[in-house]
């Protein structure tokens, strides 16, 4: 990463130390020492002060302000010295810079996608929107929720922000899987939201017509979908029938009304969730307990239906989906998660799960299915199931404590429910207080109603006594 000589170029960046380099302090001389080879760098007191702020969380502007409070009479010189030192450290690979998140603008429509290590899919989906829908360029924002922001492609995904004006990159690690699409609706600053898989192409003219449809129907709170175009680019599927097939709910079908691209909108039972849209305020959300993948089809459609709303097929809203994955998917897609999500979703909506269980017995056998069902039902009956989310506050440096906590959570049967929150580092009392506040803000943003927060010290002391210490439920309304 290269920067120009403007001293404020780095203002929004957060320097992060290379873990190979450790600060060694002594009475004689402070220095940075490599853990993998014999190199070292001597540091004067000012450099030591700057190094302590290179934590990947503090912006350069804040480091400069702290220095200028000390060196009041040399503010310009301090700014230049800081800039030069950080660039030197970067060139020598002592630090790297976290790319700052772009400030978001309000758009009429946010087109978003959640992705997990699918750079090619995201790239071509995004550039196809820009290339084939120029008439809506001033009305849309494009948001990418990266579900593996520490993966090999994450930096390249974020770099697209620098070349695409209305592109926004959002890292998300609390959960993995289907419900990450919900975060798109939480983060979008828009009137309408169009959610697509990260490997979907939208047919020319469709986005313009979608915006016009929502503008012309201000009271529409329905779930909006469109025909899936097959690889031959001529035949299509307008909806799914309500039936089980191949461990999935729904089988592709075609209604003749959808073949006319200029035809009237009509109601359908459900459609594949590779593309769907609605007003942001009309979104009903996924169950926050979901984990892993599948269970979208049928679940979300029934959720809208139970609220007196519809799922509509808009014949013009046509999309092409890349189903083929010859190199396999980079994420796990397990039977346990699949059955778990269906049972959780059916429990939420008050649906009979017997047909689903029967289908999975036919797919993977009675013994394995019934074992998974017993485990899920045990979790559904647990008092911890009341909580939409369970957070645990833990310092990054306290890895041993985190290992012990995970063992305790495993005994309680909630390990997969716990979301680790990286504690804010300051003095312990203030750090925990700030961490709680951040969790509450995050939970409100995600629409969570009941949250359990566990501090690592509390769980560490009480697990050994076969009990658990935790904070009272936090009302987030």
**Structure-token pair, residue 454:** 């566990």
The confidence score (pLDDT) of residue 472 equals 44
Residues 291 and 359 in one domain: no
The token pair at 225 is 């979908």
**Looking at 283, 300, 321, which one is the last position of a domain?**
321
User: How far is 286 from 449, CA to CA, in rounded Å?
Assistant: 13
Beta-strand ranges (E) seen in 29-106 are: 30-34, 40-43, 95-98
Please tell me the pTM assigned to this model.
Answer: 0.79
pLDDT at 365: 97
pLDDT value, residue 171 = 92
Range of the domain at 389: 384-477
* Count of domains forming the chain: 4
Q: What is the mean pLDDT of each run of 10 residues along the chain (477 residues)?
A: 65 87 83 88 90 87 89 87 92 84 88 96 98 97 94 91 93 90 96 97 98 97 98 97 95 97 98 98 96 90 98 98 85 90 97 97 97 95 96 90 92 93 79 88 93 80 44 44
**Which of the 8 DSSP states describes residue 88?**
H
User: Based on the domain organization, do 165 and 80 belong to the same domain?
Assistant: no
Is residue 469 within 8 A of residue 446, CB to CB? The reply is: no
Q: Report which secondary-structure segment, H or E, holds 52.
A: helix 45-53
Q: What pLDDT is stored for residue 448 in this prediction?
A: 95
pLDDT for the residue 50: 92
pLDDT at 468: 42
The residues that bridge with 319 in the sheet, in sequence order, are 202, 228
Residue 348 resides in a domain: yes
For residues 260 and 406, state if they share a domain. no
pLDDT of residue 253: 98
Instruction: Please tell me the predicted confidence (pLDDT) of residue 144.
Output: 97
User: Is 270 contained in some domain?
Assistant: yes
Residues 114, 72 within the same domain: no
Any idea how long the chain is?
477
Q: Which H helix or E strand runs over 229?
A: strand 228-229
Which residue(s) pair with 244 in the sheet?
249
Same-domain check for residues 212 and 278: yes
**Residue 311 sits in the same domain as residue 173:** yes
Same domain, 140 and 262: yes
Residue 466 has a pLDDT of 39
Q: Which of 76, 98, 120 is the last residue of a domain?
A: 98
Query: What pLDDT does 464 receive?
Result: 47
User: Are 78 and 191 within one domain?
Assistant: no
- Residue 283 inside a domain? The answer is yes
Same domain, 167 and 288: yes
Q: Is residue 225 part of a domain?
A: yes
Residues 185 and 273 in one domain: yes
Is 125 a domain residue? yes
The reply to whether 145 and 286 lie within a common domain is: yes
Instruction: Establish if 7 belongs to a structural domain.
Output: no
At 127 the three-state DSSP class reads helix
CATH number (domain holding residue 47): 1.10.10
* In a shared domain, residues 340 and 231: no
* Predicted local distance difference test score (pLDDT) of residue 458: 67
**Residue 2 domain flag:** no
């Amino acid at each position: 990463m290269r920067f120009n000589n403007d001293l404020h170029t780095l203002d929004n960046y957060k320097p992060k130390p290379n873990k190979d380099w450790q600060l060694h302090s002594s009475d004689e001389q402070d220095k940075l020492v490599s853990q993998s080879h014999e190199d070292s760098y001597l540091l004067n007191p000012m450099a030591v002060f700057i190094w302590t702020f290179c934590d990947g969380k503090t912006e350069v502007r804040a480091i400069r302000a702290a220095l200028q409070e000390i060196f009041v009479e040399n503010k310009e010189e301090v700014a230049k010295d800081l800039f030069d030192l950080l660039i030197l450290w970067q060139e020598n690979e002592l630090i790297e810079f976290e790319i700052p998140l772009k400030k978001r603008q309000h758009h009429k429509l946010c087109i978003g996608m959640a992705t997990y290590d699918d750079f090619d899919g995201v790239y071509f989906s995004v550039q196809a929107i820009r290339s084939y829908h120029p008439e809506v360029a001033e009305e849309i924002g494009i948001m990418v929720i990266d579900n593996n922001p520490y993966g090999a492609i994450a930096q390249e995904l974020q770099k697209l922000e620098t070349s695409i004006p209305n592109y926004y990159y959002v890292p998300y690690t609390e959960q993995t899987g289907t419900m990450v699409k919900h975060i798109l609706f939480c983060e979008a600053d828009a009137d309408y939201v169009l959610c697509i898989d990260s490997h979907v192409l939208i047919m020319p003219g469709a986005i313009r017509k979608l915006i016009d449809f929502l503008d012309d129907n201000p009271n529409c709170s329905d779930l909006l979908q469109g025909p899936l175009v097959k690889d031959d680019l001529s035949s299509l599927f307008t909806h799914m029938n309500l039936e089980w097939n191949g461990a999935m709910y729904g089988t592709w079908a075609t209604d003749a009304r959808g073949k006319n691209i200029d035809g009237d909108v009509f109601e359908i039972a459900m459609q594949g969730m590779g593309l769907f849209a609605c007003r942001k305020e009309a979104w009903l959300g996924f169950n926050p307990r979901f984990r892993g993948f599948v269970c979208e089809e049928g679940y979300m459609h029934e959720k809208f239906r139970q609220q007196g709303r519809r799922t509509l097929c808009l014949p013009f809203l046509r999309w092409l989906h890349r189903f083929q994955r010859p190199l396999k998917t980079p994420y796990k897609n397990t039977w346990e998660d699949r059955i778990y999500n269906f049972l959780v979703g059916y429990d939420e909506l008050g649906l009979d799960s017997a047909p689903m269980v029967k289908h999975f017995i036919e797919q993977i056998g009675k013994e394995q299915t019934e074992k998974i069902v017993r485990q899920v039902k045990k979790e559904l009956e647990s008092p911890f199931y009341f909580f939409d989310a369970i957070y645990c506050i833990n310092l990054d440096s306290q890895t041993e404590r985190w290992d012990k906590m995970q063992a305790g959570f495993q005994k309680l049967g909630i390990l997969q429910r716990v979301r680790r929150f990286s504690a804010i580092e300051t003095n312990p009392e203030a750090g925990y207080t700030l961490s709680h506040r951040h969790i509450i803000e995050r939970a409100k943003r995600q629409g969570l109603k009941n949250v359990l927060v566990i501090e690592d010290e509390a769980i560490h002391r009480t697990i050994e006594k076969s009990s658990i210490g935790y904070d009272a439920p936090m009302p987030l309304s």
